[in-house]
Amino acid sequence: MSKKTLIVIGNGMVGHHFLEQFVASPAAEDFRVVVFGEEKQLAYDRVHLSEYFSGSSHADLAMGTADWYTENRIELRLNEAVTRIDREGRKVTTDRGDYAYDELVLATGSYPFVPPIEGREHPHCFVYRTLEDLDAIRASARDGKSGVVIGGGLLGLEAANALKSLGLQAHVVEFAPRLMPVQLDAEGGSLLRHKIEELGVQVHTDKATTAIVEGQDARLRMNFSDDSHLDTDLIVFSAGIRPQDTLARACGLEIGERGGIVIDDHCTTSDRHIHAIGECALWDQRIFGLVAPGYTMARTLSSVLNNDEEAVFTGADMSTKLKLLGVDVGAIGDAHGQAPGARSIRFNDEQAGHYRRMVISEDGKRLLGAILVGDNSHYDTLLQYALNEITLPGNPETLILPESQGGAPALGPDALPETASICSCHNVTKGDICGAIDAGCSDLASVKVETKASTGCGGCSALLKNVVDSELEKRGVEVSKDICEHFPYSRQDLFHLVKVNGIRTFRTLISQYGKGHGCDICKPTVASILATCWNEHILTTDHVPLQDTNDTFMANMQKNGTYSIVPRVPGGEITPDKLIVLGEVAREYDLYTKITGGQRVDLFGATLSQLPEIWEKLIAAGFETGHAYGKSLRTVKSCVGNTWCRYGVQDSVGMAIFLENRYKGLRAPHKIKMAVSGCTRECAEAQSKDIGVIATENGWNLYVCGNGGMRPRHADLFATDLSDDGLIRTIDRVLMLYVRTADRLQRTSVWMENLEGGLDYLKEVVLEDSLGMGAELEAHMADIVSTYQCEWKTAVEDPEKRKRFREFVNEPEKKDPVQQWTVERDQRRPVLESA
Amino acid sequence: MKAPTRWDAVCTVDDLVPESGIAVWTEDGPVAVFYLPHRLPALFAISHHDPISGANVLARGITGDLKGEPVVASPLYKQHFSLRTGRCLEDESVQVKRYPVLLDGGRVRLEVPCEQRQTSAA
């Protein structure tokens, strides 16, 4: 049987999510899938669109990759707009031809509504929807001073934030008497206004724009119906969205009175072979302008196409929680109390700037809705009460009162029913999480991978952690943080004990806080902690037996028991003379030579006893140890920067060398890699590093917590346009916090993901110094920097330390017989006789 | 009948590294000698040859104890070998040879099998 054809029109977030669901379903076997996208790019995350201005690229925002489409055999036709649907002939037409379909999915999304104001076609008037729009806004902002957003809703405030980040004086003009009129009431709106004005955004409510004309003090002037006016250099329309239903209209599908493609509970239109999902679809007279309901429709439709008759879309929760210009705003369910008999309880602390409103049912038993401004910490609990219809306590006001005034603590995970939705982006319930744990997930990270929970907007991360911890504990899985049988402590606990009690040896620590003699887990962990706290040489008598395989001989052990040597080449910059020395040493000892990914040279095949002699020669030529053997800073990779490159905007090599010399020798829970790129082309691949630095015209953008390897992760943008000093201070704090608080063998990425509050929390602690420990972290780093020594230099100068570098202490000339060699591509390589 | 053996002096106490191992070459091949000053006895000797990797590296592993059993962890693939019996804790079918060892004045002596010819390697 030949395959049927499924065509999807639209490659936005919802269309992409539908494809993800569909290709993983059984029906994918029966269909050839073709996708048409009007934009040039692959589907990207519009929810986080404004991050494009703070340094994210299309790749950061992309939902999938071209490879993903290829791997799943999806024909992706970008930049090819469908112009007509022929329902009789079941085909669609583009400017390049006709394509037949058996099933058609419309995921055409919406377009920004631009009110019919005279002068709206002016070239400095924009909408805020696509990456092209953002590029145009950025270009216009370059020689402007101020910008106005028309529309004080959710997207409008996002847009205002974007204008502010472009350096413009931002204004918001709203027709209604308050900001976010859909979600907030008068008190909530006025508090939000107050907070946003404090941040320097000017808010004008109750303003109807009548015309846009040439300005006097700026490029444009907006005239309002009350005869006032406002001059501005650019205008962004953000006055709501309208469903993109043009194709559907033209082919005669049923359309709602105010637009929108009418769908039934199966996400199917008036033509049973045509389906619609996302913001173009009208269900029960409603358009859903949020991503989560769109995702729910996408999942429903995928099930429908798999002939699952029970799959129905039954509406969606429109609750939202977000940070607008740094201000918490939350709205849940029936926030305005429109249900008959609904009553409200309000808490308003003007001093702290917190406003909370609960809407409860007539009988006082159910929470119908809520509004939060200034503090979203009650959101999760309130949402669970509303979504799961949990009976309210007798004195419901305690849910929104501060704890000091008798407020109830957050709803514990045990109180949630199995059906409670924990992650609404990926529709993960508490039951799903329990299922994943029963199927073998034993920690937060694996539950996230298995269920995708908390990998969308991330808003549920704290709740998810609570549920996972509580469920693990219930199953008798001791959520044990003990590092091994010798210490009933986590690495972080041990760090604290060592630091506070001034403990300087493993022996003291284990006799006071542990039992037994230690093992290959706790010894290297404690060695790393001692190095961070006191920075003594790793080969002193007390420390030498603690070191891991590679640290203990300060070289990397290879499979036949020989070692490789990596001298430090800071930033990858090396003089010809030094390069020649490396070649000469390698030739003298017949070392296999390879260039590493970190812009260094790795010399393989040295025996234990050769290591000190080789290092004597390298040190004499000015080399230092490269710590390739340590859980410590490896390299700082760099591109050539503005000294040579015609695109470079900063001296990336200089910064890389500075960073490498600053942090070399810092011991950490795992290896640390860094890179510095001299411009946004990112040739040093800084976004795949623990610490990535990318030059901007104004300074440096800092990315943190990326890595390559088995589970690659792009680094997150952490701070923008930092000065040299600001950059170093920020890295000092991030690294020191990581070194102090991460688990053993935890890379920065996993560490950050496991921090409660994740990236935002890290930003608060590091950038806003919310714990007041910034100065202490910097001082600790300064101390480590000042006590740096080249471990190899110290070792070769000390006969006691050199003594250990003997393969057989009783036969100095004896060659290890298992080390056999052959030649391949003109270099020596090991042949290992099988054991 | 027990094969003939002999107590060879392989190194001095100064060659030992507290809480760690060193390697010596004997007529029976490479042997790892561990010095754990906080235990009794304090000296252990097992083959230096790691049967899992095929390399001579066991003396360079981290020592410790697991449920009271003195062990060394292979520095290559991290299996644990009992210092008392030579047995691999992760795989019972794997065993390395163990050697009686003692301290004779300042000298460390190992009991190794000897050939008929009586030669002194010490």
- A107-138: pLDDT as tens digits: 999 998 898 999 999 999 999 888 888 889 99
- Structure-token pair, residue A316: 């969606």
Amino acid at A210: T
Asked if the structure places residue B119 within a domain, the reply is: no
Please tell me the total count of domains within chain B.
1
Cβ within 8 Å of residue A501, ≥6 positions away:
A512
**Mean pLDDT to the nearest integer, A425-452:** 83
Amino acid A51: pLDDT? 72
Length of chain B: 122
Residues in chain A closer than 8 A to B37 (CB atoms): none
Cβ within 8 Å of residue A596, ≥6 positions away:
A566, A602, A628, A635
Share the mean pLDDT of chain A: 89
Neighbours of A240 (CB within 10 A): 17
Q: Cα-flanking dihedrals φ and ψ of residue A160, to 5°? A: -65, -40
Verify whether the Cβ–Cβ distance B25 to A810 is below 8 Å: yes
Q: How far apart are CA A481 and CA A701, in angstroms?
A: 35
pLDDT at B122 over 70: no
Exposure string for A771-782, b = 16+ CB within 10 A, e = fewer:
eebbeebbebbe
pLDDT tens across B20-73, in order?
999 999 999 999 999 998 888 889 999 999 999 999 999 999 999 998 899 999
- Structure-token pair, residue A407: 């407020």
pLDDT tens across A291-308, in order?
888 989 999 999 999 998
Nearest to B64 among A520, A553, A814 (CB): A520
Q: Which of A100-114, A520-534, B104-118 bottoms out in mean pLDDT, i.e. has the lowest?
A: B104-118
Asked if the structure places residue B122 within a domain, the reply is: no
**Mean pLDDT to the nearest integer, A596-623:** 96
Q: Which domains are present in chain A?
A: 4-111+243-305 (3.50.50.60), 125-239 (3.50.50.60), 317-410 (3.30.390.30), 412-479 (1.10.10.1100), 491-547 (no CATH), 633-786 (3.30.413.10)
Asked if the structure places residue B91 within a domain, the reply is: yes
pLDDT at B119 over 50: no
ipTM of the complex in this document: 0.91
Asked if the structure places residue B120 within a domain, the reply is: no
Q: How far apart are CA A290 and CA A292, in angstroms?
A: 6
pLDDT tens across A216-243, in order?
989 999 999 999 999 999 999 998 889 9
**Mean pLDDT to the nearest integer, A458-465:** 73
Residues in chain A closer than 8 A to B36 (CB atoms): 517
Verify whether the Cβ–Cβ distance B22 to A517 is below 8 Å: no
Q: Which of A112-116, A316-320, A539-543, A654-658 bottoms out in mean pLDDT, i.e. has the lowest?
A: A316-320
Cα nearest neighbour of B68 on chain A: A516
DSSP-based three-state secondary structure for B121: coil
**Mean pLDDT to the nearest integer, A580-600:** 96
CA A557 to chain centroid, in Å, comes to: 35
Amino acid A834: pLDDT? 47
- Structure-token pair, residue B54: 């095929």
Amino acid A68: pLDDT? 87
pLDDT at A456 over 70: no
Nearest to A804 among B17, B53, B76 (CB): B17
Instruction: Tell me if A699 sits within 8 A of A37, measured CB to CB.
Output: no
DSSP-based three-state secondary structure for A62: strand
**Mean pLDDT to the nearest integer, A531-556:** 92
Best to test chain A binding among B25, B31, B36, B58 (most A CBs inside 10 Å): B25
Dihedral over alpha carbons A536, A540, A544, A546 (to 10 degrees): -40
Verify whether the Cβ–Cβ distance B62 to A559 is below 8 Å: no
**Mean pLDDT to the nearest integer, A550-562:** 94
Query: What are the strands, taking DSSP E only, across A687-800?
Result: 691-696, 699-704, 716-722
Q: How far apart are CA A339 and CA A383, in angstroms?
A: 17
Q: How far apart are CA A147 and CA A141, in angstroms?
A: 8
∠ at Cα A390 (A387, A394), nearest 5°?
135
Verify whether the Cβ–Cβ distance A516 to B68 is below 8 Å: yes
Task: Measure the N-to-C terminal CA separation of chain B; round to a whole number of Å.
Answer: 26
DSSP-based three-state secondary structure for B114: coil
Residues in chain B closer than 8 A to A834 (CB atoms): 54
Asked if the structure places residue B46 within a domain, the reply is: yes
∠ at Cα A153 (A147, A157), nearest 5°?
40
Amino acid at B121: A
Asked if the structure places residue B121 within a domain, the reply is: no
Q: Is A267 annotated as a binding residue?
A: no
Instruction: Tell me if A734 sits within 8 A of A719, measured CB to CB.
Output: no
**Mean pLDDT to the nearest integer, A433-441:** 87
pLDDT tens across A72-109, in order?
899 999 999 999 999 999 999 998 999 999 999 999 99
Instruction: Tell me if B70 sits within 8 A of B39, measured CB to CB.
Output: yes
Output the domain CATH number for residue B9.
2.102.10.10
Amino acid A835: pLDDT? 40
Higher-confidence residue: A258 or A594? A594
Amino acid A314: pLDDT? 87
Asked if the structure places residue B101 within a domain, the reply is: yes
Amino acid B120: pLDDT? 45
pLDDT tens across A153-194, in order?
888 988 898 899 888 999 999 999 999 988 889 989 999 999
Verify whether the Cβ–Cβ distance B39 to A517 is below 8 Å: yes
- Structural domain range at position B106: 5-112
